[in-house]
């Protein structure tokens, strides 16, 4: 790969943690389930490329997410490495028990900032979903697990339009009170812009949520992901969720584009001299290999450009 130089920008962190969400958030949106052996190889390749946080699968009932019905097989077959965290999405106490039985040490719960999405995705009100998560988070923490709390639709919602920051702060602070060790702020339909990103971060820190506990999770539906991530990094965020090759996409957003691609932000971070521990060449190879299995080209600009060069 050609070296196009590095130049730091004041106010940005020295290092950023990328939380790779492709195997769960990405593959659960595939219309045809990906075989378990491909998933296992995908996750092993991501670890080989330097990832230290790989969201691996989901304990949601296979009726709702048939794409991840092989969660137990994947977890059993994975050669989990001590230096890598493999968080698993857990919807309820039954899912937590399955995760614990499989030796999982990191879980995530999936909350919504809006009533419309809570109803559509969880068939519950926001308050009911938090009640459902409360014992899960408590028991997980008592067992020594790390618990990530997703907050989806943090800036916009397809039914409600712009989501006011106080509404997100309310859900986020409740998740922290319940014991979440990290929050992931999701722009589930990709409509956020940098000012609104920063305003929400400011509202959260004003409500005593530590900036170090906040991850950002941008979708690239409107091409805004990377600029929003830059604005978040400029305001103290050091964890960004991305997916290999831009896998994924919210089924309620009218677009095929998905998560911000790991390779696209890595190009930026390398140019900014920010450490991630990731190897871009290996990631591009992995996304290209997976694209072959999925039968379509990666939407990542970097993957496309480097494959052609």
Catalytic residues: 250
Block residue for tokens 């509202």: 203
CB of 6 to a second copy, least distance (A): 7
CB of 289 to a second copy, least distance (A): 20
Give dist(CA 262, CA 32) in Å, integer: 23
- Using an 8 Å Cβ cutoff, are 139 and 93 in contact? yes
Q: Give the distance, in angstroms, between the CA of residue 199 and the centroid of all CA atoms in the same chain.
A: 21
CB of 246 to a second copy, least distance (A): 9
- Size of the residue set binding a second copy (CB under 8 A): 52
Does position 203 bind a second copy by CB under 8 A? no
Q: Candidates 34-42, 57-65, 123-131, 152-160: pick the segment binding a second copy (CB under 8 A).
A: 152-160
* DSSP letters for 133-191: HHHHHHHHHHTT-EEEEEEESSSEETTTEEPPHHHHHHHHHHHHHHT-SEEEEEETTS-
Does position 271 bind a second copy by CB under 8 A? yes
Q: Candidates 18-26, 33-41, 130-138, 196-204: pick the segment binding a second copy (CB under 8 A).
A: 196-204
Give percent helix, percent strand, percent coil of the chain, each to the nearest 5.
45, 15, 40
Q: Supply φ then ψ for residue 72, to 5 degrees.
A: -65, -40
Does position 193 bind a second copy by CB under 8 A? yes
Give dist(CA 140, CA 89) in Å, integer: 12
The only residue of 183, 230, 278, 294 in contact with a second copy, by rule CB under 8 A? 230
Does position 281 bind a second copy by CB under 8 A? no
The only residue of 35, 166, 195, 292 in contact with a second copy, by rule CB under 8 A? 195
Q: Which two tokens stand for residue 23?
A: 């195997």
The only residue of 57, 121, 152, 221 in contact with a second copy, by rule CB under 8 A? 221
CB of 189 to a second copy, least distance (A): 9
> Which residues bind to a second copy, rule: CB under 8 A?
2-9, 155-156, 158, 161-162, 190-196, 198-199, 220-224, 226-227, 229-231, 253-257, 261, 264, 267-268, 270-273, 300-302, 304-305, 308-309
């Amino acid at each position: 790969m050609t070296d196009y130089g590095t130049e730091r920008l004041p106010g940005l962190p020295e290092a950023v943690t990328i939380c790779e969400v492709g195997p769960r958030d990405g593959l659960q949106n595939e219309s045809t389930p990906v075989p378990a052996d491909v998933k296992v190889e995908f996750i092993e390749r991501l670890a080989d490329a330097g990832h230290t946080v790989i969201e691996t699968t989901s304990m949601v009932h296979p009726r709702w997410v048939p794409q991840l019905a092989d969660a137990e097989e994947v977890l059993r077959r994975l050669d989990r490495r001590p230096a890598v965290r493999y968080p698993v999405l857990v919807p309820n106490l039954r899912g937590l028990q399955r995760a614990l039985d499989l030796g999982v040490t990191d879980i995530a719960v999936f909350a919504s900032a809006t009533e419309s999405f809570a109803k559509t995705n969880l068939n519950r009100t926001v308050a009911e979903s938090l009640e459902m998560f409360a014992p899960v988070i408590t028991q997980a923490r008592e067992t020594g697990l790390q618990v990530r709390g997703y907050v989806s639709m943090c800036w916009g919602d397809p039914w409600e339009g712009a989501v006011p920051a106080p509404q997100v702060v309310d859900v986020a602070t409740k998740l922290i009170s319940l014991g979440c060790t990290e929050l992931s702020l999701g722009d589930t339909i990709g409509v956020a812009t940098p000012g609104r990103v920063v305003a929400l971060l400011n509202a959260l820190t004003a409500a005593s949520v530590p900036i170090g506990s906040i991850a950002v999770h941008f979708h690239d539906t409107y091409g805004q992901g990377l600029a929003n991530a830059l604005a978040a990094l400029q305001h103290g965020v050091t964890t960004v969720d991305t997916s290999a090759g831009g896998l994924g996409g919210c089924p309620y957003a009218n677009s095929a584009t998905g998560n911000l691609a790991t390779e696209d932000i890595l190009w930026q971070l390398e140019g900014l001299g920010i450490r991630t521990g990731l190897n871009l060449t290996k990631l591009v190879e992995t996304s290209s290999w997976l694209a072959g299995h999925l039968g379509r080209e990666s939407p990542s600009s970097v993957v496309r450009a480097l494959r052609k060069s």
